[in-house]
Amino acid sequence: MSLLDVENVTMQFGGLTAVKDFNLRLEKGEIVALIGPNGAGKTTAFNTITGVYKPTKGRITFKGKNITGLRPDQITRLGIARTFQNIRLFKDLSVLDNVLIANHVHIKSNFMEAVLKLPGYRKEERAMRQKSLMLLEKVGLADLKDEKSNSLPYGKQRRLEIARALATDPTVLLLDEPAAGMNPKEAEDLTHFIRQIRDEYNLTIFMIEHHMDVVMEISQRIYVLDYGVTIAHGSPVEIQNNQRVIEAYLGVEENA
């Protein structure tokens, strides 16, 4: 049994089918990429897995449990975390607070204990802070912990988003265009970073990415979407030589 199983998921918005019969299997420890031209439905596929959208049809199983139609917070609690294509940090809050909020999902004390600052809650709060600082250290933002998150430069905001996602203790991490807007050197660093966190936190990573260097370098398998349909699936080498993928990206040659 796979860790995450997406079976025949279809997502329709009125008459528009954004994703059609999407199938995905993630095995533990894999890094898998989802690519496709703009508007192919990649982010929609993400949103159905994380519960932002409820799929019109199909079934999503995570660790053997049916999670179709659960709310995003319930899915996060089960161990699927994500980042966003257009960075969605808590802008007016500090860098540290951004990561602390993600710890809230596993809190055991109820709000009364938190208001009264009972010993059980204090202990939890201390542990949360320690863990958050460690994560910030990991992504190299520890010395910026008190800055407002929207005052960080773009690249650091991306890393903060990853730290925040890691703070929910995920098993599966979904990255939505983590290398967007990065230069080749930064993209290369990111590749190492993703491998590193995968090994360190025993993650399984599923990512949407446009940087082909990153995708080909890092992923074991690749899914290709075009107009909501999965047109190819295979290893990087297979995908690079797949005629339909080339057509989707470069267009079809007119034959007289």
Q: Using alpha carbons, select from 138, 145, 143, 206 the residue that is nearest to residue 170.
A: 206
CA 193, CA 195: separation in Å to the nearest integer? Answer: 5
Q: Using alpha carbons, select from 112, 117, 114, 93 the residue that is nearest to residue 104.
A: 114
Measured on CA atoms in the order 84, 86, 87, 89, is the torsion positive or negative?
A: negative
Binding mask 34-73 for other proteins (x = CB under 8 A): ----------------x-x------------------xxx
Among 2, 10, 59, 84, binds other proteins (CB under 8 A): 84
Give the DSSP H or E segment for 177: none
CA atoms within 13 A on the CB side of 53: 19
Select 158 or 221, whichever has its Cβ closest to other proteins: 158
**Sheet with strand 57-62: strands edge to edge:** 16-26, 4-13, 57-62, 65-66
Provide the minimum distance between the beta carbon of 51 and other proteins in the complex, in angstroms, as a whole number. 8
Binding mask 151-180 for other proteins (x = CB under 8 A): x------------xx-xx------------
Q: How far is CA 115 from the centre of its chain?
A: 33
Among 14, 16, 64, 92, binds other proteins (CB under 8 A): 92
CA 71, CA 64: separation in Å to the nearest integer? Answer: 18
Select 9 or 167, whichever has its Cβ closest to other proteins: 167
Binding mask 101-140 for other proteins (x = CB under 8 A): xxxxxxx-x-x--xxxx---x--xx--x------------
Among 7, 69, 93, 180, binds other proteins (CB under 8 A): 93
Residues contributing to the site for other proteins (CB under 8 A): 50, 52, 71-74, 76-77, 81-82, 84, 88-93, 97, 100-107, 109, 111, 114-117, 121, 124-125, 128, 144, 147-148, 150-151, 164-165, 167-168
